[in-house]
Amino acid sequence: MKRTFAAVMVVLLARPALGEQTDTGKEVSASVEKPSRRLLRLPLGKRGYLEFGGLMQGWFMNTFDDNEPYVGLGATRSTFRLRRGEVRLAGEITPEVSFKLMFDVAKVLEFGSKSLTVSNATAADASKPVTVAASQPTGRTSVLQDFNLTFKFIPYANLSMGQYKTPLSLEGLTSSGLLTFIERSEVGRIFGDQRDMGLWAWYRWKRFAYFVGFYNGAGANNLDTTTNKELMLRFELMPFDGLYLATSLQRTLADDVVGTAAFGGEKTVVGADAQLKMGGFTAQGEFYYSKAIAKDTLQETRPKGGYVSLAHLFPIGNYGLQPAVRFDVFDPDENTKDDDYWRLTIGTNLRLAGPNAMLQLNYTHSHYAQKTNDLVLLNAQISY
């Protein structure tokens, strides 16, 4: 593990000789639309500043059967949902030292009743029930999303440390307030849009960007529980304005052997993204494949999937109307039969102030595990 760590640090501190910097940019993908926010900015010291921003999203969900896949509505069929309530603080101490802190207060929900399995239970003995009802969180309870410290004192290698989205999937890296569709594809949700703690180096030129990261692999707001670390790489290429190509890799770095007591599980993920923008037209697609071996059961899974989407933005006075369609497929494990599914999403976006104020309406038809689902989603959002 020590040799692995040393090798990764050499990569992080390397200086690519690819020309002059044209845009320090952000860690997010270069293809992502930039919101026209007018953030409140305050001076911070002699050379720094502090900005405030946020995102608010309210959903209405209505399903026509009991098979809704996102939150498991079942027989409830419909609900209003406070999907996101993000509050962002960002700024610079100096031009070489920046930070970002983001919370999602919509994640704090009331506890719900869940059935919990009881160990050492006896089905025939009523005094030792197999399951009991208890109040449990209905989802993730931590509001902390991003905790990002960035240092730009090394030429061609900005160093960031903290918690942030891992560099997999274009849709996953895209801010939730800038998505063409209300919900991400399965590839964008499962492989992308995942946060982790770690250290990463990145840099962006006009036509090329790279990301090299070293992460816990335990997910957001969790300490590491194994000796493993996750190496993640992403390379982005913009051959000309409007065309964006990228590839990503995740690989578990471990010295232990499968089946030994020290084995902490391992995972390999590889994939690619592409996007073409011409005028108001946008075409986008991704494909990702993974092989994972579980820590405790040693079970191997091989999920894979991808999507293609098309959208066109029509200006209507001061507003914009954007119809869009996406088809995505996902196989949770190619070793298992009859578990794959596909989903068709048709929607339209009414942009009242670009992405800063928007109404979105989506209809999805899903076919998964020999079940079908039809769902209507409405999203009202503002970002500032």
pLDDT in tens, 65-88: 988 888 888 888 999 999 999 999
Chain CA centroid to CA 354, Å? 22
pLDDT at residue 193, rounded to an integer: 95
3-state SS, the chain, equals CHHHHHHHHHHHCCCCCCCCCCCCCCCCCCCCCCCCCCCEEEEECCCEEEEEEEEEEEEEEEECCCCCCCCCCHHHCEEEEEEEEEEEEEEEEECCEEEEEEEEHHHCCCCEEEEEECCCCCCCCCCCCCEEEEEECCCCCCCEEEEEEEECCCCCCEEEEEEEECCCCHHHHCCHHHCCCCCCCHHHHHCCCCEEEEEEEEEECCCEEEEEEEECCCCCCCCCCCCCEEEEEEEEECCCCCEEEEEEEEEEECCCCCCCCCCCCEEEEEEEEEEEEECCEEEEEEEEEEEEECCCCCCEECCEEEEEEEEECEEECCEEEEEEEEEEEEECCCCCCCCCEEEEEEEEEEECECECEEEEEEEEEEEECCEEEEEEEEEEEEEC
Range from 87-96, 100-109, 304-313 carrying the lowest mean pLDDT: 100-109
Range from 139-143, 223-227, 263-267 carrying the lowest mean pLDDT: 139-143
Sign of CA pseudo-dihedral 164, 19, 233, 55? positive
Residue 214 has pLDDT above 90, yes or no: yes
pLDDT band (50, 70, 90) for residue 245: very high
Residue 109 has pLDDT above 70, yes or no: no
Chain CA centroid to CA 83, Å? 15
pLDDT at residue 23, rounded to an integer: 36
Chain CA centroid to CA 118, Å? 34
Residues 81/71, Cβ–Cβ less than 8 Å? yes
More confident residue, 27 or 296: 296
pLDDT band (50, 70, 90) for residue 98: very high
pLDDT in tens, 126-162: 555 666 666 555 556 789 999 999 999 999 999 999 9
How many Å apart are CA 78 and CA 142, to the nearest integer? 26
Range from 216-225, 249-258, 276-285, 350-359 carrying the lowest mean pLDDT: 249-258
Chain CA centroid to CA 105, Å? 18
Percent of the chain with pLDDT over 90: 64
pLDDT at residue 67, rounded to an integer: 86
Domains and CATH numbers, the chain: 2-110+145-383 (2.40.160.10)
| pLDDT mean across residues, the chain | 85
How many Å apart are CA 240 and CA 244, to the nearest integer? 8
Q: Could you report how far apart the first and last alpha carbons of the chain are, in Å?
A: 44
Residues 244/65, Cβ–Cβ less than 8 Å? no
Mean pLDDT of 12-36: 44
Residue 102 has pLDDT above 50, yes or no: yes
pLDDT band (50, 70, 90) for residue 203: very high
pLDDT at residue 18, rounded to an integer: 33
Sign of CA pseudo-dihedral 13, 17, 21, 23? negative
More confident residue, 2 or 281: 281
Q: Would the pTM of this model clear 0.85, i.e. be above it?
A: no
Residue 16 has pLDDT above 50, yes or no: no
